[in-house]
Chains A and B, each alone.
Chain A
C-alpha cells in the first residue's frame, strides 16, 4: 500500500507557542483517516502545513509523493480542501464560488456538481453574504466533492450542517472511498469518525498520541461486561485488568481492559454463564481518556503551581 500523507517529526512554532511538537502522521492511499483532537491541539495547523500554507520549522512532510511547500501548485491539482471556517466573497454567488474554486483547481465534473447541489439542497444563486454557516460549508463541500482529485482534506467539514446533511455528507464520503480515493477527515464528531474512518490518529498539544485502526484503538480501552451466572463469581478481582467490579449474588458487573477480555470471560465461564452482555468501548471513551488525562494533569500542575 502506498502512502498518501507521510509526516515525520514536524515542528511548527508561532512565537513562543509550539503548535506542532514533533508530529508524525501517516495516511495510506485509499483510506479514510480520522484526525481527532480537542480545540487548539494543532489539527488545522497540520492541515495548513500539508497544504503549503504554513512552512514547517523542522521535520519532513510528504504529500502524494511530493513536498507540500515546494510542489504546492502541482499537488493542489490532485487534492481538494474544505476549510473549517468557510468565508465566502460577499458579492459572489455560491454557484460562482463553486465554479471559481473548481476552475482554479483544474476543472469540475459537471454532472457531479449538479448532483451534489441537489443532494445538499443548495441554492447557488444566493450571494455569499446571505448564506448561513451551514450553507457556506455546503458551498465549500460541493466545490471540493465535485472535483476529480485523489485526495480530500477536510477540516471539520460538518460543523454547521444539520443531521440530514450530515448523512448526505457521510454517503458522499462512502462513495469517495469506494472509488479508492483518500480522505483526511479532521472532526469533532466521534460518531461520524467511527462510521467513516478506517484509521484514526488522535492529536494532543501538537503530538500524535494514538494512531491505528479503530479495532486497534479499542484494544487499548475497557469493555464493560454484565453477566448472570449459576454460581456466585469469586476470585475475579485477582485477575489483571479488572475495574469497578460489583458482585451481587449471581450477577456480576465490571470493566475489563480489552486486552484482558479473554481471561475474564474464561474465568466467568467456570461459574456457568447464563446471560452475558458486553459493551464495546466507544471512540468517545477513548477520546475522553486522553483528553481527561490532560485535564487531570493540568489540574495537578495548577495545584502544584499555586502560591504557598
Chain B
C-alpha cells in the first residue's frame, strides 16, 4: 500500500471531525443575525447609551449644590421609593455617582433585560415557528450554532453597551470616575446577560415566540418584585434577583465587583440547560407537545370578535395574573412605609405624614400599572397588523366581514383588556393595601385611581389605531409613545422635566391619584381625542389596500 492512499482516509477523518461539530456555521449565523438586525440592534444600543449619557449633564443643572443633592437623598431614603427603584446606597454623602446608581441603574438594567429577551426569542423561537430554522438546519449547520450565534450577538450587545457606558459616562459628568463607570456598565450588562440566558431557555420551552417572550418577561417581573420586597425589608430575597445583584455592587459608593459573579454563574447554568435541551428536542417542537383539539368550533367562535378573544385569551389571562401579583406585592409593602414614618418624627416634617407618603407611593404604583396595561393594549392591538401581514386577515375579509368589524374585534380586546388589567391590578393593590393598613377606604381610592388612568391608556391605543389606518408600516411608533410615558412618569421626579413635557404625557392627568386631584379637563380632552383618532383610523383602514409588508 502506498503512502498516499494511507494518508487519504486520515485526511477525510480529519475533515469529518472538522465538519461534524455541533457549532459548525456559528460564524456565518452571527454575520447573518447582525445583517438582519442591522437597524434594530444599533437603535437599541444607541438609545440606551444616549439615554444614559445624554441625561447625565442635566444632573448638574437640576442638583447644582451638595445641599440640593442631599435633599433629593432624603426624599429617596424611604421604603416607598426604595421599593420602586432600589436600595439607596450612599445617601449620607449623596454624590453624583450615588445618584446615578440609585436613580438609573435599575431602570437601565430592566431595559437591557428586555432587549436581550426580545433578541433571543426573535432569533431562536420566532425563527423556528416560521420554519426558517428548518431551512437553515438542513444545510451545514451544527445543532447549537443558532443558539450560540444568537447568544454571542445578544451577549456582545450587552457587553458593548456596558463598555461604552463605562467609557462615555465620565466624559458626560466629570464627577463619575472611569473605573466606577465601568462597574456601572458591567452591572447593567450582567442583568442583560442573565436575561439573554432566560430568553434562550424560554425559547426552548414553548412552540410560540409570543409565549416564550411572555414567560421570559414574567421571569423579569419576578426578579423585579423579589428585589422590591427584599430591599424594603427581607433582604435575602434581593439576593435571589439578578437586578438585586447588580444593585449590590454598590457602584460609585463601594464599587464591589463580586456580586456580578453570581450573574455570570447563573447565565452559564441557563445556557447549559438550553444546550442540553437543544440536544434532545426536535427542531420546531417545544418541550410542551401540542395536543389535538376540538373538531368543531364552539359557539363563541362565530364572529371576528369571538376569534380575537380566542386568540388573545391566554395572553390576557397571563397579564391579568401578572398585574394582580404586582398590585398585591406592592400593596403589602404599605405597612413598612407607615412604620418608617412613625419611627422617624424628623421625616414627618420633611415628607409630610404617613398618609401622604403612602398616597405618593400608591400613585407611583398605579402609574406603573397603567404603563404595563398600555404595553398590553399596544401588543394586543398590534395583533391586528400581525393578522394582516401574516395573510390570515385575507380569508376573513373575503367573507361577509366588513373592514370596520374586523378592526373593531382586536380593538375591543385591546381596550377591554387594558381596562380589565387596571381593574384587577387596582383591586389587588387596594385590597392588600386596605388589609395591610387596616383602612377600608383604600379599596375605593385605589380602584378609582386605577380607573382614572384608563382614558390615557386608551389614548395611546387610539394613536396606534390611527397609524394602522393611514400608515400601517409605522404602527410600532406606539412603543415610542409608551417609552415617553415611562420616562416621564417613572423618572420625571428625578429629572424635573419642564412642565409642558410632563403635561403632554397621557399618564399625567391621573398621576397624583389617590392623594391629589384628577385633571378632569385633560381627561375629557384625551377622551375626545381618543374617539376621534379611532374614528380616523377606522376610516383610513376602510379606504386602504390590505398589505403584507
Chain A bound to chain B: yes
Mark A residues whose CB is within 8 Å of B.
48, 51-55, 72-74, 76-77, 79-81, 83, 85-93, 95-101, 103-106, 124-127, 129-130, 140, 143, 153
B9 interfacial contact with A, CB 8 Å? no
Nearest A residue to B293, CB-CB: A93
Tell me whether chain B's interface is mostly helix, strand or loop, or mixed.
loop
B310 interfacial contact with A, CB 8 Å? yes
How long is the Cα–Cα vector from A126 to B294 in the complex, in angstroms?
8
> Given the complex, which residues of A lie within 8 Å of B545, measured CB to CB?
53-55
Q: Are B296 and A127 in contact (CB under 8 A)?
A: no
Extra contacts, 8 of them, besides A100-B297, A101-B396, A104-B303 (Cβ < 8 A), are A53-B545, A83-B394, A85-B391, A87-B390, A87-B391, A96-B297, A100-B302, A104-B304
- Stretch from B37-45, B399-407, B522-530 that touches the partner: B399-407
Residue in contact with B391 in the complex, picked from A83, A96, A104, A130, CB distance below 8 Å? A83
- The answer to whether A76 and B301 touch (CB under 8 A), given A93-B295, A96-B293, A130-B290, is no
- Nearest-neighbour CB distance to chain A for B471, whole angstroms, equals 15
Q: Are A93 and B398 in contact (CB under 8 A)?
A: no
Q: Are B395 and A95 in contact (CB under 8 A)?
A: no
Residue in contact with A105 in the complex, picked from B207, B298, B304, B400, CB distance below 8 Å? B400
- The answer to whether A100 and B307 touch (CB under 8 A), given A83-B395, A106-B400, is yes
- Nearest-neighbour CB distance to chain B for A80, whole angstroms, equals 8
> Given the complex, which residues of A lie within 8 Å of B207, measured CB to CB?
90, 129
How long is the Cα–Cα vector from A153 to B399 in the complex, in angstroms?
12
- Nearest-neighbour CB distance to chain B for A187, whole angstroms, equals 18
Nearest A residue to B298, CB-CB: A96
- Nearest-neighbour CB distance to chain A for B295, whole angstroms, equals 4
Of listed A72, A88, A89, A104, residue having the most chain B CB within 10 A:
A104
Chain B 508-549, CB within 8 Å of chain A: the 1/0 string?
000000000000000000000000000000000001111000
Q: Are A95 and B297 in contact (CB under 8 A)?
A: yes
> Given the complex, which residues of A lie within 8 Å of B402, measured CB to CB?
72-73
Residue in contact with B392 in the complex, picked from A73, A89, A106, A126, CB distance below 8 Å? A89
How long is the Cα–Cα vector from A51 to B294 in the complex, in angstroms?
30
Q: Are A73 and B401 in contact (CB under 8 A)?
A: yes
Nearest B residue to A53, CB-CB: B546
- Nearest-neighbour CB distance to chain A for B289, whole angstroms, equals 10
- The answer to whether A92 and B310 touch (CB under 8 A), given A125-B295, A127-B290, is yes
Nearest B residue to A78, CB-CB: B400
- Nearest-neighbour CB distance to chain B for A18, whole angstroms, equals 15
Tell me whether chain A's interface is mostly helix, strand or loop, or mixed.
mixed
- The answer to whether A125 and B293 touch (CB under 8 A), given A54-B546, A72-B402, A99-B301, is yes
> Given the complex, which residues of A lie within 8 Å of B137, measured CB to CB?
none
User: How many B residues are at the interface, by size bracket?
Assistant: 35 or more
How long is the Cα–Cα vector from A221 to B124 in the complex, in angstroms?
54
- Nearest-neighbour CB distance to chain B for A184, whole angstroms, equals 13
B75 interfacial contact with A, CB 8 Å? no
How long is the Cα–Cα vector from A97 to B301 in the complex, in angstroms?
9
B143 interfacial contact with A, CB 8 Å? no
Q: Are A96 and B398 in contact (CB under 8 A)?
A: no
Q: Are A104 and B296 in contact (CB under 8 A)?
A: no
> Given the complex, which residues of A lie within 8 Å of B400, measured CB to CB?
73-74, 76-77, 104-106
> Given the complex, which residues of B lie within 8 Å of A96, measured CB to CB?
293-294, 296-298, 301
Q: Are A101 and B293 in contact (CB under 8 A)?
A: no
- Nearest-neighbour CB distance to chain A for B215, whole angstroms, equals 16
How long is the Cα–Cα vector from A99 to B299 in the complex, in angstroms?
10
> Given the complex, which residues of B lie within 8 Å of A77, measured CB to CB?
400
> Given the complex, which residues of B lie within 8 Å of A95, measured CB to CB?
293-297
How long is the Cα–Cα vector from A103 to B303 in the complex, in angstroms?
8
Q: Are A88 and B295 in contact (CB under 8 A)?
A: no
Q: Are B395 and A81 in contact (CB under 8 A)?
A: yes
> Given the complex, which residues of A lie within 8 Å of B287, measured CB to CB?
none
How long is the Cα–Cα vector from A89 to B309 in the complex, in angstroms?
13
> Given the complex, which residues of B lie within 8 Å of A91, measured CB to CB?
208, 311, 314
How long is the Cα–Cα vector from A97 to B302 in the complex, in angstroms?
10
> Given the complex, which residues of B lie within 8 Å of A85, measured CB to CB?
391
Residue in contact with B294 in the complex, picked from A53, A76, A106, A125, CB distance below 8 Å? A125
Nearest B residue to A139, CB-CB: B395
Nearest A residue to B401, CB-CB: A104
> Given the complex, which residues of B lie within 8 Å of A86, measured CB to CB?
395
How long is the Cα–Cα vector from A269 to B399 in the complex, in angstroms?
59
- Nearest-neighbour CB distance to chain B for A142, whole angstroms, equals 12
Nearest B residue to A12, CB-CB: B545
> Given the complex, which residues of B lie within 8 Å of A87, measured CB to CB?
390-392
B397 interfacial contact with A, CB 8 Å? yes
> Given the complex, which residues of A lie within 8 Å of B401, measured CB to CB?
73, 76, 104
> Given the complex, which residues of A lie within 8 Å of B546, measured CB to CB?
48, 53-54
Q: Are A93 and B399 in contact (CB under 8 A)?
A: no
